[in-house]
Structure 1
């Protein structure tokens, strides 16, 4: 079911609770004396959370203590997310990984909830923020770390397109049915990933051999997800490298080779199960389509990743196709 959070805070205690419930645990600090008002409207589209924020001047801090607490509370998944913000009005400052970036209307910025950051706004502002798991991005986490607190797409021909798409999606998503909203939110994440990959190429982030091999191997995985025999050994053989070398290519990516295969298969199955055009396709057939031919194994794997068995996920998604 789509999570809907609509809230307004009139003091900093209320605001801290509101932003922490909407995103990840955060500290807040006032930027000026007097009263405070902030409003958040947030919706969850299959782990892609789209929020609109309107608030008075303040700062939010993601501290090492809060990051450790998130993981110890059993919410490690929410600790490992990317957030992309599109500034609509007002100005601010993003600080992460030793870099500072000015946030002005129209700018896109990415930051990582698994590492400390600070956002500071010295005037009233509004913005759209998308938060999604790092696993939704087909790029090594370490490589994306080169882009935090930098203007995403500022010199890229797709940058203005992405900003426009996020702005239009933010306004449109609340009016769409569940299945359409999930697909649109996923498409926006894919478009962002395309821009980030090109930014990394331009910056030399993919120049080394490991990055080249990682791209080649993950393309191979995508092309062979339907093969139940796909495994680290078959992948290594297809690329004339040892299994040990294959695992070394994935070091620092945040995922093992087998884990990457499982994640991509579940992502494809999740998309098909959420597609109303495929409601008559048996759940087991969708699993088999993506290389998960054992129905019991498919159900266990899907539930471990998504939190619901595949049949239950399909029912909940298609039952919430409200306008």
Structure 2
């Protein structure tokens, strides 16, 4: 049974996540992880035996995101420079420890993970993940191009242990557990909103840089506040006081943090809501939704006011933006098909 010390164990939930798995010997397990993720090398630790190894792998996709849970014994998994030269799909992996202990190494950094902790690593750089014994890890993998982060933010944040109970980790951890439960939920369906939430929350983690070095700094609080906003944009009551109370700081201090970043809390909320709406308006999968439905799903209840501020922000009314964008996308697809 999988357990975590950072979250009260729900026996029924945990049993459901494990349902339907098949046990694999070391050889098939090694082939399966290389096929399911990116090309990888896997070797038993010196103290482990292939005869007693039992591994499992369960995966599903949500749009452009792959969710997996991998478990096994004492092994070392590596992505080498040669493998990267032969195949680099440009993916980011976030690994959350579910059971046991692992060590993630990349770019000179080392993250020691115990249940509830997680780390980010990049398939375009060599890395090594060592499972010290019987363990399980939940992995979220998605395209690097979806992140809003700078390259230096990613380079600083890879293979850094992020505590699932504190700071930015405390915001993202419940979301990861929710994604993990979807592995066993056949009725769970992906949506552009869910994908966007994953990308935004991971981007917020990367903005922190090295959370282990300054867990309680203003930079971490600011990134955590932004992640909280991303996760609650649909709440029409989202405001400065709610965010401040969640982080146990005063509204005035929260406002100063945002002002130091060249924004206000309300201005940031408005900008992110508008960006979410713009992304949905440009998405052909959302074409069946009215403009009013799109703005309300991101916390903007007044569609006429939304049209006004959208035009102020992007220079065109939302309906015109949607029509022009979808028409251009359809034309591009038609040209590609013809050629």
TM-score range, shorter chain: 0.5 to 0.7
Question: Could you tell me how far 1:12 is from its partner in structure 2?
Answer: 3.2
Out of 105, 114, 121, which is 2:115 matched to? 105
TM-score of the superposed pair, with normalisation by structure 1: 0.61
Confirm whether residue 33 of structure 1 aligns to residue 49 of structure 2.
yes
Q: In structure 2, how many angstroms separate the alpha carbons of the residues matched to 1:188 and 1:93?
A: 24
CA–CA distance in structure 2, aligned partners of residues 16 and 301 of structure 1: 41
- Could you tell me which of 171, 176, 190 is aligned with 1:166? 176
Give the match for residue 273 of structure 1: 285
Offset of residue 118 of structure 1: 0.5
Cα separation, 2, equivalents of 1:68 and 1:91: 30
- Which structure has more RCO (C-alpha within 8 Å, separation ≥ 6)? 1
Distance 2:287 2:183 in 1: 17
1:132 aligns with 2:142: yes
How far apart in 2 are the matches of 1:300 and 1:173? 37
Q: Deviations over 1:12-64 (max 9, x none)?
A: 33122211222111111112113222111111111111111121221111111
CA RMSD of superposed structures (Å): 4.3
How far the C-alpha of 1:270 sits from its partner, in A, is 6.8
Distance 1:14 1:265, change over 3 A: farther
How far apart are residue 266 of structure 1 and its match? 9.8
* Separation in 1, partners of 2:154, 2:283: 24
Q: Looking at CA atoms only, which structure, 1 or 2, has the larger radius of gyration?
A: 2
SS in 1 for 2:112: strand
Conserved in 2, the CA contact under 8 Å of 1:109 and 1:151? yes
Deviation at 1:274, TM superposition (A): 4.9
Report 1:74-153 matches (<5 A): 79-152=89-162
> Closer, same or farther in 2 for the Cα pair 1:98/1:200, shift >3 Å?
closer
1:298 counterpart = 2:329 = yes
Give 5+ residue unaligned stretches, structure 2.
Answer: 1-19, 220-260, 294-317
Q: Distance in 2 between matches of 1:178 and 1:289?
A: 33
Q: Take 1:39 and 1:94, find their aligned partners in 2: how far apart are those partners?
A: 20
Alpha carbons 1:90, 1:124 under 8 Å: kept:
yes
Q: In structure 1, how many angstroms separate the alpha carbons of the residues matched to 2:334 and 2:130?
A: 38
Find the residue that maps to 2:167 and give its secondary structure: coil
Residue in 1 that maps onto 2:86: 69
Q: Within 5 Å, which residues of 2 pair with 1:1-323?
A: 8=22, 10-31=24-45, 32-35=48-51, 36-71=53-88, 79-152=89-162, 156-172=166-182, 174-175=184-185, 177=187, 179-180=189-190, 183-199=193-209, 268=280, 273-274=285-286, 277=289, 290=321, 293=324, 297-299=328-330
Change (3 A) 1:116 1:293: same
* Cα separation, 1, equivalents of 2:125 and 2:67: 21
- Give me the TM-score of the superposition, normalised by structure 2: 0.58
> Match of 1:146, SS?
helix
Q: 1:143 to 1:195 in 2, by over 3 A?
A: closer
Q: 1:266 to 1:70 in 2, by over 3 A?
A: farther
Q: Deviations over 1:231-273 (max 9, x none)?
A: xxxxxxxxxxxxxxxxxxxxxxxxxxxxxx9xx9995457561
Q: How big is the shift at 1:143?
A: 1.8
- Are the aligned partners of 2:119 and 2:159 in contact in 1 as well (CA < 8 Å)? yes
CA contact under 8 A between 2:62 and 2:190: conserved in structure 1? no
